[in-house]
């Protein structure tokens, strides 16, 4: 059987799918024959993704849903079941979080960020898993981040949630592996998405710094993450579960001092390439 041939006719639910990693994931899964439920709050962009998939010959539908709520997650899973007959793959990707110091985070913003970033993974899985079991199995992918293990300033709520995603995927993998359900996390590094593309192309300094920070020498793109999702939901990954797959061009394997030394040398050399 050709690679990914088994995905044809299966159903995927992708949250945060109106742009960026979610959009790339939705279009990639659809290109390999999956029917895709595109979930977002941005109706205009979400509709564009559905049309893009349909114009390429694929099947998709859009659901306006707040994934931080039980009602929103139930609605998107119900749409997949009623519209396409079930759920095989669940890709939780939606995000929202404040960029302020911990002591300045308003409690309601903390709660909202945890609802979107982490609680949504629990709720979506809760509603999808029974249908996966009924269908003979499935695959859950949580989009985490290297921020789950490496931290920076003003990202406390984001980093706490991303670490939680990794643990939740391991828990689901253990609990539902006997029902042929696999669960894995993907930990992207710095990713240039469609909404960041133009800014990236004109920021020569950031491009030069990225070449120093990533051994591969380039940034990640949304398609890099979509390709990892494709692998994890496919039968090629049938023996992979409970893992947190780092997709960051090697950024996180360097000692911090190595990257700093490179950056300082680049600064002393007059910032070549910037």
Q: Cite the active site residues.
A: 158
- What's the rounded Cα separation, in Å, for the pair 80 and 137? 15
User: Of 189, 7, 6, 23, nearest to 91 (Cα)?
Assistant: 23
- Contact yes or no for 61/12 (Cβ under 8 A): no
Record the tokens describing residue 139, joined without a space.
């695959």
38 three-state secondary structure: strand
Helix, strand, coil share (%) of the chain residues, nearest 5: 55, 15, 30
Structure tokens at 165: 């995603």
Cα distance between residue 181 and residue 191, in whole Å? 28
Beta-bridge partner residues of 70: none
């Amino acid at each position: 059987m050709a690679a990914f041939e088994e995905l044809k006719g299966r159903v995927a639910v992708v949250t945060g799918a109106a742009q960026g990693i979610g959009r790339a994931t939705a279009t990639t899964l659809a290109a390999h024959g999956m029917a895709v439920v595109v979930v977002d709050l941005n109706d205009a962009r979400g509709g564009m993704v559905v049309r893009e998939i349909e114009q390429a010959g694929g099947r998709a539908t859009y659901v306006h849903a707040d994934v931080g709520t039980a009602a929103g997650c139930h609605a998107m899973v119900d749409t997949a079941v009623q519209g396409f007959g079930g759920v095989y793959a669940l890709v939780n990707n939606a995000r929202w979080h404040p960029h302020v110091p911990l002591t300045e985070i308003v409690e309601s913003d903390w709660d909202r960020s945890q609802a979107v970033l982490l609680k949504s993974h629990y709720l979506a899985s809760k509603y999808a898993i029974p249908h996966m079991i009924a269908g003979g199995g499935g695959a859950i992918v949580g989009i985490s981040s290297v921020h789950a293990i490496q931290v920076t300033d003003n990202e406390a709520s984001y980093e706490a949630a991303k670490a939680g995603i990794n643990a939740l995927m391991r828990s689901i993998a253990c609990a539902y592996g006997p029902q042929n359900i696999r669960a894995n996390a993907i930990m992207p590094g710095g990713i240039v998405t469609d909404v960041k593309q133009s800014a990236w192309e004109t920021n020569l300094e950031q491009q030069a710094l990225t070449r120093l920070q990533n051994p591969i020498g380039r940034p990640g793109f949304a398609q890099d993450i979509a390709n990892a999702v494709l692998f994890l939901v496919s039968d090629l990954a049938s023996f992979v579960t409970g893992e947190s797959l780092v997709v960051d061009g090697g950024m996180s394997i360097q000692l911090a001092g190595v990257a700093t030394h490179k950056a300082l040398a680049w600064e002393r050399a007059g910032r070549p390439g910037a």
